[in-house]
Amino acid sequence: MLMLLHGTAYGLSDVFKENIYVPEDLAPTDSVLAVTVGEKAPDFTLPSVHHGEISLSQYLGKKNVVISFVPAAWTPVCSDQWPGYNIVKDLFDENDTVLLGITADNIPTLFAWTNQMGKLWFPVLSDFWPHGETASKYGVLRSDGTTERAIFIIDKKGTIRYIDVHDINKRPPLESIVGELEKLNK
Amino acid sequence: MGIVLCLVVLGSSLAYDTKPPPAVGDVFPEVKFSVPGESDYRTYLGLAKGDYFSIQDIKTKVVVVEILSMYCPHCQREAPRVNEVYELIEKDPALKGKVKLIGIAAGNSTYEKKVFRKRYTVPFPLFEDPDFELHDILGGVRTPYFIGVKIDGGVPRVFYSKLGGFEKADEFLKMLVGLSGL
C-alpha cells in the first residue's frame, strides 16, 4: 500500500517537493537470485533515457560495469540514491568502470524523475517492456513488478564479481561499492 | 564524527521517533555530538579534546545548523553558497567568532560525509548521522534544512527553522543575523 509522504525519516531532498510516495512495510527482499558470483553476467539490451539502446555486452573487454537496480521512480530511498552517485564519477573513472541505472519504470517516467536530480552522467535504463525481463534474468524482480535494490559488479570479462541484493528500505553505503571496485584492479 | 543522542526529557526509548521540526522560540533539542578529531574543527568550535559536546558548548553566540545529505541534489547545488556564507562570516570582524556553521549529514556514513566535504570543499564541521537518529529528532525534515540557534545564557534557543535554501549568501546571512538579534 502506498501513502503520501509527510515528515519523512529518509532525509529526502527538497528537490522532489511533495511528489514522493513511500511504501509501507516492504519485505527487505522478495525474489530469488538467478545468478551467482563467478558466473557470466546475462546480457541485455535496454532503452535508456538519453543514451539510446544500451547493451551490457558493449562493455566487454573495455570497462567494468556497475548495475544499480532501484525499485521504482518517485519513491524515497530510490530518489536519494543515484544523485549521490552523480557526484562521484571520478571514483568510477578511477576504477575504469561505468555505471548503469535500471528500474522497471517506463522511459517517460524515468525522464521526468531523473530530470529532478539534475544532469546524470550515467545512463538510466528502462526495464519496462517486456516488463522486468532483465531483472528476471538476474533474479531481482519482485512480486509486485518492481525490482530489488541491488548492485551487481561485472568485470571486463563479463564475469559477475559482486552481488548485493540490499534491504529495499535502505540505501547501500557508497563505500561498499567503491571498495569492491578497488578490488577489481588488484 | 559519530553522533550520540541524548534525549534528556523523553528518554532513549523514543530516540527513533520523528518529532516535529524545532520551531522558532523552542529550545534546540538536547543532542550530543562527538568532538571532532580534527584540531581545526575543534578550534573553530572552541572545544577541547573530549568525547561529546552539546550545541550550547560551542564557543559562539549563534550556530547555524544545516541538515543535508550527499545524496540530495539541492544540497549539492547549495553547497557553494553555504560555503560563501561561511567565508562572509569569517571575513567580517563583527561576525567572526560570533556566528558558526555546522552540518548534519542525514543518512550518510562517515565515508559519504567525507565525499561530500571533499567534493564541495566544505570548510565547516560536518557530522554524520548514518541511521537518521538526529534527523528524526529534528523533525525528519527534507533537505537542505536550516536551523538558527542563539545561545543565550547557556540556553540554545531556535530563532530560525526552515526548509530549503537561498539565492544569495549575503542576503541569507543578513537575514539570519537580523533574526538572531546579534
Summarize pLDDT for A45-70 with one digit per residue, the tens.
999 999 899 999 999 999 999 999 99
Q: Nearest residue on chain B to A89, judged by CA atoms?
A: B119
Can you tell me the mean pLDDT for B132-141? 91
Spell out which residues of chain A touch residue B112, defining contact as CB-CB under 8 Å: 84, 173-175
- Predicted pLDDT at B18: 63
Say which of A5, A49, A54, A78 is annotated catalytic. A78
pTM here is: 0.88
Count of beta carbons in the 10 Å neighbourhood of residue B39: 9
Position with higher pLDDT, B165 vs A76? B165
User: Between the CA of residue A30 and those of A140, A143, A148, A178, B132, what are the distances in Å?
Assistant: 8, 7, 7, 26, 25
Asked if B142 and A9 come within 8 Å (Cβ–Cβ), the reply is: no
Q: Which residues of A touch B107 (CB under 8 A)?
A: 10-11, 80, 171
- CB contacts of A13 in chain B (<8 Å) are 69, 71-75, 142-143
Q: What is the pLDDT of residues B97-115, one digit of tens each?
A: 999 999 999 999 999 999 9
Residue B8: the pLDDT is: 30
Question: In angstroms, what separates the C-alpha of A40 from chain B's closest C-alpha?
Answer: 31
DSSP letter for B72, please. -
pLDDT in the model for residue A48: 98
From the CA of B166, how many Å to the nearest CA of chain A? 13
d(CA B19, CA B182): 29
Three cell numbers at A10? Answer: 529518509
Other beta carbons less than 10 A from residue B119's beta carbon: 14
d(CA A122, CA A51): 9
Contacts of A88 in chain B (CB under 8 A): 115, 119
pLDDT of amino acid B19: 76
Q: Closest to A11 (Cβ–Cβ): which among B119, B143, B165?
A: B143
pLDDT at B6 over 70: no
Which of B3, B71, B119 to mutate to test binding with chain A, by most A CBs within 10 Å of its CB?
B71
Q: What is the pLDDT of residue B32?
A: 87
Radius of gyration of chain B, Cα coordinates, nearest whole angstrom: 15
Check residue A9 and give its pLDDT. 53
Q: With a cut of 70, which residues of chain A have pLDDT below it?
A: 1-11, 14-17, 21
Contact call for A81 and B141, based on CB within 8 A: no
Q: Reply yes or no on whether A50 is catalytic.
A: no
